[in-house]
């Protein structure tokens, strides 16, 4: 799958309101394995876990995305990751 097709698949999955959290995570995991760069796959999988209430798993994927160089690969997603990760960390501490 080329990068444009991958980006479309990811966007379509996020836009699909009929998908439950578990299915979204499973489907994103499959897409993450096909990502044009590991950092992109880890970021999107982290987001799916985060939105599905799996904050600890999201944290691991966000950390992996950062370690894989997300800032260099996609600065916009890196900025989004910083915001999402802070929100996830704050929510986890309140529990």
Q: pLDDT per residue over 38-60, tens digit each?
A: 999 999 999 999 999 999 999 99
Give me the chain's average pLDDT, please: 92
Look at residue 95 in the predicted model and tell me its pLDDT. 55
- Contact, 39 vs 68, CB < 8 A? yes
Report CA-CA distances (Å) from 33 to 17, 52, 81. 23, 19, 19
Query: Helices 55-67 and 38-51 sit at what angle, rounded to 10 degrees?
Result: 160
For residues 74 and 76, what is the distance between their CA atoms, to the nearest angstrom? Answer: 5
Look at residue 47 in the predicted model and tell me its pLDDT. 96
Look at residue 85 in the predicted model and tell me its pLDDT. 79
pLDDT beyond 90 at 77: yes
């Amino acid at each position: 799958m080329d990068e444009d097709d991958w980006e479309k698949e990811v966007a379509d999955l996020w836009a699909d309101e009929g998908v439950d959290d578990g299915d979204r995570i499973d489907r994103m995991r499959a897409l993450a394995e096909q990502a044009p760069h590991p950092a992109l796959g880890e970021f999107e999988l982290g987001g799916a876990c985060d939105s599905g209430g799996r904050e600890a798993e999201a944290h691991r994927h966000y950390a992996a995305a950062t370690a894989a160089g997300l800032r260099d690969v996609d600065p916009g997603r890196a900025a989004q990751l910083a915001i999402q990760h802070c929100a996830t960390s704050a929510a986890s501490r309140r529990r």
